[in-house]
Structure 1
Amino acid sequence: MYLADRTWPELGEHVASESLAVVPLGSTEQHGPHLPLATDHLIAEHLAREATDRADVLCTPTVNVGVSPHHRQFHGTMWVDAPAFREYVESLARNLSYHGVDRIVFVNAHGGNTVHLREVGRRLRDDGTAYAIEWMWNDSIPELVDDLFAQNGPHGGPKETAMIQHIAPDLVRDGKLDDARDGGIADLAEADPRKFGARTFYDSIDNTQNGVLGDQTDATAAKGKQLFEAAADQLVQLLDWLDDQPRDALMAKPHVDPQPGSRQ
Structure 2
Amino acid sequence: MSTRPYVLAETNWKTVKETNYTLAILPWGATEAHNYHLPYSTDNIEAQYISIESARKAWEKGAKVVVLPGIPFGVNTGQIDIKLCINMNPNTQYAVLRDVIDSLNRQEIFKLVVLNGHGGNNFRQFIRELQLQYPQMLITELNWFRVLDDKKYFSVPGDHADEMETSNMLAIAPELVAPFEYWGDGKERKFKIKGMRDGWAWTERKWSLISEDTGVGNPKNAAAEKGKKYLEDLTNLISEFLIEFSNCDKNNIYE
TM-score normalised per structure 1: 0.84
Q: What's the offset of the Cα at 1:55?
A: 1.5
- Structure 1 segments, 4+ long, off by >4 Å, are none
Structure 2 match to 1:166:
171
Is 1:133 the counterpart of 2:161? The answer is no
Structure 1 match to 2:117: 109
Specify the SS of the correspondent of 1:218.
coil
Aligned partner of 1:149 in structure 2 is 154
User: Does residue 1:95 correspond to 2:103, yes or no?
Assistant: yes
Aligned to 1:61: 69
**Per-residue displacement from partner, 1:220-245 (whole Å, max 9, x unpaired)?**
00001011111111110110111121
Cα distance between partner residues in 2 of 1:2 and 1:216: 31
Query: Is 1:197 matched with 2:198?
Result: no
CA distance in 2, matches of 1:8, 1:123: 32
Question: Greater Rg, structure 1 or structure 2?
Answer: 1
Q: Deviations over 1:161-207 (max 9, x none)?
A: 11000000000012345x411xx31xx5xx32351314455312221
Deviation string 1:144-173 (CA, Å, 9 cap, x unpaired) is x11222222111111111100000000001
Instruction: Return the match for 1:180 from 178, 184, 195.
Output: 184
Q: 2: CA distance between counterparts of 1:80 and 1:129? A: 28
Which string of whole-angstrom CA distances, capped at 9 and with x for unpartnered residues, describes residues 53-100 of structure 1? Answer: 222211111111111121222222112111111111221122122221
Greater helix proportion = 1
**Structure 1 partner of 2:46:** 43
Query: Using the alignment, how far apart are the partners of 2:178 and 2:136 within structure 1?
Result: 44
Match of 2:81 among 73, 76, 82: 73
The answer to whether 1:224 aligns with 2:222 is no
The separation in 2 between residues aligned to 1:173 and 1:147, in whole angstroms, is: 26
TM-score, structure 2 normalization? 0.87
The aligned length equals: 238
Q: Which runs of 5+ in 2 are unaligned?
A: 1-5, 60-64, 197-201
Q: Is the 8 A contact 1:165 1:224 kept in 2?
A: yes
1:94/1:129 contact within 8 Å kept: no
Question: In structure 1, the residue corresponding to 2:165 is in which secondary structure?
Answer: helix
Counterpart contact for 2:57–2:236, Cα < 8 Å = no
Percent identity over the alignment is 24
